[in-house]
Amino acid sequence: EKADAKHFTTVAAFTPSGSHIITGTTKGWLNVISTATCETIYSTRLCAKPILLIRLSQSGRDLLVNASDTIIRTLRIPPNLASLPPDEIRLDVEHKFQDVVNRLSWNHVAFSGNNAEYVTASTLMNHDIYIWERTHGSLVKILEGPREELGAVEWHPTRPVVAATGVESGRIYFWGVQAPQRWSALAPDFAEVEENVEYVEREDEFDIHPEEEVRKRQLENEDEEVDVLTVDDEQLQREGAVPKSKVFTEGDGANEAIARKETGVFRMPVLLDMGESDSEDEMIAIGTGQFRRKSTANDDAELWDEDGETDGGAEVNGNGSNKRR
């Protein structure tokens, strides 16, 4: 009779390796069946009531059992279960979780994530979710849900998020952890305080200055004379615009202009020998920012007479071109 009751299976689950099947019966027996021989190689009785649900952790080393006696049990599975002889297999209860005061029954149970550090369970005829930690076996949190009873409950594989289904409406409810707001990420000098702190301001921090006084200060700053004509040769040398060997004096004259042109010093554009009647078409550029009038035939002849040199026997014809003698 005991053998028949022991094999009246209500729930079953494969081990991660697939070498064994763990089953629960109506009489509270937990069986380990070999898939190779289809024989029960280990049996232990956890309670006298039916086993309702069996859950394995992601690593396959932890077993979670929910029975009708309102007690949730966790057991450790040997890591080398596939290679152990049947007489050396042991499944011992690690923790027992229950509500001693209200004697609540549990609809569904689940491990947390990939480390199985927590156990969560939904309650029968209730809307709360209980969470226990396995290190000390103590209750750490009760999640208050909607007004309807909750059925299946699952934990996110990697994040602290719990999902549960409503028995009456079929809705899925989520619980998560709210990340604290860190304002220091926006302002490095921002200091977070646990409670209200009285701020002591400076004497003139929040003073309101009259507009006339502010405008007067602005006008005083605008009245300062700005020298835009004086060239500081030392500053030009520091900036690399003028070589240190090029130090200009007031008597340098044209040499200073040529040297500044070679070094790239900025000068205002100057029109040389330009009358009021001269147009832009009559001007040609002779340098950076410097222009002069285009020369005509008469101007070239006068320039030739003043020079007094023939440059190897060249002469100027009537149209202003040079001709060899």
> Mean pLDDT, to the nearest integer, of 50-69?
91
Q: What is the pLDDT of residue 211?
A: 80
Q: How confident is the model at residue 61 (pLDDT cuts 50, 70, 90)?
A: confident
> Mean pLDDT, to the nearest integer, of 147-176?
90
Q: What is the pLDDT of residue 324?
A: 43
Q: Which of 92-96, 100-104, 228-232, 270-274 has the lowest mean pLDDT?
A: 270-274
pLDDT > 70? residue 285:
no
Give the helix/strand (H/E) hosting 219. Answer: helix 211-222
What is the residue extent of each domain of the chain? 228-267, 269-308
Q: What is the pLDDT of residue 313?
A: 45
pLDDT > 90? residue 297:
no
Distance, in Å, from the CA atom of 278 to the CA atom of 68, rounded to the nearest integer, reads: 112
SS3 274: coil
Q: What is the pLDDT of residue 13?
A: 92
Q: What is the pLDDT of residue 119?
A: 93
DSSP state of 147: S
Q: What is the pLDDT of residue 165?
A: 92
Q: What is the pLDDT of residue 295?
A: 65
| Residues 6 or more apart in contact with residue 197 via CB below 8 angstroms | none
Q: What is the pLDDT of residue 209?
A: 73
> Rounded to whole angstroms, what are the CA distances from 66 to 85, 119, 261?
27, 11, 94
> Which pLDDT tens digit goes with each residue over 217-249?
788 777 777 777 777 777 777 766 555 555 555
Q: How confident is the model at residue 131 (pLDDT cuts 50, 70, 90)?
A: very high
Q: What is the pLDDT of residue 230?
A: 79
